Structure 1
Amino acid sequence: MPIVFQDLLQGVEVTGALGLKQTVTGLHYDSRQIQPGNIFVCIKGYRTDGHLFIQDALSRGAVGLVVEKDINIKPQVSIARVKNSRQAMALMAANFFDHPSRKLTLIGVTGTNGKTTTTHLIDAVLAGKGEHTGIIGTIYNKIGDQRLPVERTTPESLDLQSILAQMNTSKVRTVSMEASSHALYLQRTAACEFDVGVFTNLTQDHLDFHRDMNEYLAAKMLLFEGLGKERVKKRPCYAVVNNDDRAAERIKKCTNVPVITCGINEQADVRAEDVRLNSDGSSFTVSYKEGNFSVCT
């Protein structure tokens, strides 16, 4: 769907611009995927720099660029210089697809372990109630009964917004999404309006990407710090936190929305008691302020 470049940049901090009245057909961060009329978003990565592929994008029909540095291009094309092209792409993608997360109930699950299990359990419960659901995660993405292949736990922001838009078209009501620390740190989820943030746990991992455990936790906290900010949806949002984990207190303190705690060993709003594991599955009692009930798996 054609859109004017400057409308695509709504909400983006632009530090310099040229030719923003240009009508464009879409955007991409991979020069090899550029189609005629597209905007090429130049992202500086850890292995290469998108600015090095500007000429390739132009040769494929790009009519505009989003850059972080001054460039000298002939012939002149529409250009928007921004402070952070990753964040810009997330906002532009949301604008292009008309903010699909605002039309869904979006549940983000983060933590070192248990993201995949938790998203699938949430999905199973809601699907069991008859809801049309979706999953974005490590094993596959799911739109209703359709399963789609994945390249990474949380897609790039452009791909993520596209998937959410497809879910809207397919009448999906609720989406359970794995939110990895990489995705949160790299702002792939920046333009997503979450209704629930779930924290499972934090153990040593991904220190090849994060400098230390504090930075790793800080990336996880981004999901909870963003809950409720610049919210368009009228319904409330909240956080669900595993109170047994040592990082729980920092997670709870960083968010401004109501927190529901869960756990086994620590005092929590929702507790699993009388937990029993055997070769056939598990059983436990869910205890909360309004009563309790038994669960068998």
Structure 2
Amino acid sequence: MEALRRNKLLAFAVVFIAAQVLVAVFADWIAPYDPVAQDVIARMKGPSVAHWLGTDQFGRDILSRVIHGWRSSLAVSVSSVGAALVVGGALGLVAAYYRGWTDRIVMRAMDVFFAFPVMLLAIGVVAVLGPRSFTAAVAIAIVYTPIFARLLRGPALVVCESDYVTGARAVGASDARIILMHVLPNLASVVLVQTSLLLSAAILVEASLSFLGLGVQPPTPSLGLMLSEGRNFLMLSPWSAIFSGLAILLLSFGLNLLGDALRDTLDPRLRGRA
């Protein structure tokens, strides 16, 4: 709380993201219409009192679909980045703690994943597993696992050489206890900053996969899918593409802002500038 009072940018970013998360969580109560309900008579209408953001080519309320699309994008992104953090972080910590052949094998395996472009690897995973929201989350998790592994390995190497880790080994603490109780807590700031930044990137990857038809499948609302469907009607009714693209922008911008604010707050070298 003290950090929020001192850093206005961090406070704004937290409130901005919290508001979007609340909209996604309570989408069923906030959305004025059923996001998949069709009204052919009212299709491709502009913003009005009845439909604040207009309707799409099937007469579905765009505001309701954007709100539920927020939920879909956040669910896929959070689950995928969380899985990547657990798996990649564990691999990075194990490689830094045991070193030797364990370090070499783990990091060379991560280098194999780094050799592929992000979108190409994600598309390849979805092509093997089939297009749906779960496989999109798995694809994004696989893409970001080596990033967390390499990110945590560097500072973990320094922490593992510290006196308190040596002392913990001397008194007979188990390897798991040392990693979880002494090494991992000292990497919390790095994890928080990188997680928020990768969440922002995951939003864009999920939207890209859905735009290509490889993520969330219709009629389930998805911001990327709405953008893909709306591009065919830009001259007649651009509202679906405009507002879904704006929602993606707000999500990505908020998470990037949160990551920058956390970095400024947690990094001692930047704390004065914040």
If the TM-score is normalised by the length of the shorter chain, which range does it land in? under 0.3
- Higher percent of residues as helix: 2
- Higher percent of residues as strand: 1
The two structures have a TM-score, normalised by structure 1, of 0.26
Higher relative contact order (CA 8 A, sep 6+): 2
